[in-house]
């Protein structure tokens, strides 16, 4: 596991924070401070090598790389929307402006495509006045988009020409793959431009980062859908409340929503393939549940059960390079209706797809606090000339993680984890729904 963070060069400038914040010892951190990857210490274990792995601590450095007076920062938001984007933008602007004295902050329009000079989108001037109230709204004032990462050389040249010293890239794995390409080109050219990522995605699927912003707010909106599904299910004979939630390759939104509500009886996620038919198939278990309790709530993550629909072509990708998924919601709904019709068993199925509603919402209080912190830590890292990294959180401590590491794998639910055990306990569903 490579956790080494790149620096643009030696930090020679005294941090302006030294004047603002006198609590030196507890406030400033050095590059030597590390956060352990594994927080357990097992005294029985003779080989404790895994304990040595660690991340660099995020936080303000006493000496920084960029002189704030001549620094120009830029912020870009990419990929699908997520609650908290505006909060992070605001935090970066406020921290840069008031704490470090950086007066030039540019907003890039519509993701990486806004850095491409051919698109002529221009930049947005981001001042404290311009961002004063944006954290109250969902979405991003900059606009976002997928893609724009095929040829990034012109984007880097445009950054150089505009005089940008630090690029804050807010996004998920696709954004980070783009940020890494930019950082590599910058390195090759020898430019002094820092690239700092901030982890956004409602899917919470970024590896080596405990939590991404937007996830918690999305879950808190998704619980409304489960609540409604449960009310509908209980309100009719053999009522089936069926909710489809986002979650392309990782079922964290669906799983956390189920844990929060305790009303879901069947949770279907991409990480655990299931059979539809047979004595251990999903439909059989649903039938037993209805016979026993006369109502059921099902929650499916959009990436679940893709293997059931195989045969239909799945070669299409979106602009971020993600495979365009088959619609498991409508597929399963039809299969459930068909199955019970054949059994001549009357059911009342209500299908709810809150879809984009869960991610266009403003950040909830906890996410708002998290976003403000992420924004501040991003600025500390950027001003210190750290590059090709993303701000993380691990064991509740803020960290610096190389982008290369986070894009090396995807975070998914581990079916052998305590987390999944808790989900099974909350839903009461069979441990697996496969016939073999």
Least distance from ligand F6P to the Cβ atom of residue 166, Å: 25
> Between residues 62 and 318, which has the closer beta carbon with respect to ligand F6P?
318
DSSP 305: T
Least distance from ligand F6P to the Cβ atom of residue 67, Å: 37
Contact 102, 73 (CB under 8 A): yes
> Between residues 201 and 412, which has the closer beta carbon with respect to ligand F6P?
201
> Between residues 15 and 322, which has the closer beta carbon with respect to ligand F6P?
322
* Residue 203 falls in the annotated catalytic set: yes
Question: What is each CA distance from 353 to 17, 242, 334, 435, in whole angstroms?
Answer: 47, 8, 15, 29
Burial zone of 317 (CB within 10 Å; 0-12 exposed, 13-18 middle, 19+ buried): exposed
**DSSP per-residue codes, 7-19:** ESS---EEPTHHH
> Between residues 90 and 248, which has the closer beta carbon with respect to ligand F6P?
248
Least distance from ligand F6P to the Cβ atom of residue 284, Å: 29
Cα gap 41→217, rounded to integer Å: 33
Contact 84, 34 (CB under 8 A): no
Least distance from ligand F6P to the Cβ atom of residue 200, Å: 9
Catalytic residue chosen out of the listed positions 118, 173, 203, 318: 203
Return the SS3 of 135. helix
Residues that bind ligand F6P (CB under 6 A): 80, 172, 201-203, 246-248, 302, 318, 359
Burial zone of 44 (CB within 10 Å; 0-12 exposed, 13-18 middle, 19+ buried): exposed
> Between residues 78 and 229, which has the closer beta carbon with respect to ligand F6P?
78
Least distance from ligand F6P to the Cβ atom of residue 110, Å: 13
Least distance from ligand F6P to the Cβ atom of residue 206, Å: 11
Question: What is each CA distance from 40 to 162, 397, 411, in whole angstroms?
Answer: 47, 15, 20
Contact 325, 313 (CB under 8 A): no
Cα gap 240→13, rounded to integer Å: 63
Contact 88, 406 (CB under 8 A): no
Q: Which two tokens stand for residue 19?
A: 């004047």
> Between residues 107 and 354, which has the closer beta carbon with respect to ligand F6P?
354
Residues carrying an active site annotation: 203
């Amino acid at each position: 596991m490579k956790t080494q963070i790149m620096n643009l060069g030696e930090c020679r400038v005294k941090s302006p924070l030294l004047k603002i914040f006198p609590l030196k010892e507890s406030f400033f951190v050095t590059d030597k401070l590390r956060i352990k990857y594994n927080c357990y210490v097992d005294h029985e274990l003779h080989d404790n090598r895994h304990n040595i792995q660690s991340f660099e601590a995020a936080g303000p450095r006493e000496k920084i790389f960029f002189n704030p007076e001549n620094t120009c920062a830029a912020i870009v938001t990419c990929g699908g929307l997520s609650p908290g984007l505006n909060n992070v933008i605001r935090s970066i602007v406020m921290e840069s402006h008031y704490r470090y004295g950086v007066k030039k902050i540019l907003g890039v329009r519509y993701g990486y495509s806004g850095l491409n000079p051919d698109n002529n989108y221009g930049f947005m001037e981001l001042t404290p006045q311009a961002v004063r109230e944006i954290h109250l709204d969902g979405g991003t004032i900059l606009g976002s988009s997928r893609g724009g990462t095929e040829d990034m050389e012109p984007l880097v040249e445009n950054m150089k020409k505009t005089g940008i010293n630090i690029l804050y890239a807010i996004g998920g794995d696709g954004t980070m793959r783009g940020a890494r390409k930019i950082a590599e080109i910058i390195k090759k050219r020898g430019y002094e431009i820092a690239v700092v990522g901030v982890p956004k995605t409602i899917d919470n699927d970024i590896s080596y980062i405990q939590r991404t912003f937007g996830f918690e707010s999305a879950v808190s909106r998704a619980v409304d859908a489960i609540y409604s599904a449960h009310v509908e299910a209980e309100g009719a004979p053999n009522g089936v409340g069926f909710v489809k939630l986002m979650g392309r390759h990782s079922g964290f939104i669906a799983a956390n929503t189920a844990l929060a509500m305790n009303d879901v009886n069947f949770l279907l996620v991409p990480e655990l393939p299931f059979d539809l038919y047979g004595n251990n198939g999903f439909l059989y278990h649903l039938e037993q549940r209805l016979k026993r309790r006369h109502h059921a709530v099902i929650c499916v993550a959009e990436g679940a059960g893709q293997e059931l629909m195989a045969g239909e072509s799945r070669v299409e990708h979106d602009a971020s390079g993600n495979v365009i998924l088959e619609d498991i919601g409508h597929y399963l709904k039809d299969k459930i209706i068909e199955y019970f019709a054949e059994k001549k068993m009357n059911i009342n199925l209500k299908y709810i797809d809150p879809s984009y509603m869960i991610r266009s919402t403003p950040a909830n209080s906890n996410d708002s606090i998290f976003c403000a912190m992420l924004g501040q830590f991003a600025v500390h890292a950027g001003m210190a000339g750290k590059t090709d990294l993303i701000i993380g959180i691990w064991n509740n401590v803020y960290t610096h993680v190389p982008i290369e590491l986070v894009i090396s794998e995807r975070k998914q639910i581990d079916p052998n984890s305590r987390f999944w055990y808790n989900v099974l306990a909350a839903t009461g569903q069979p441990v697996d729904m496969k016939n073999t």
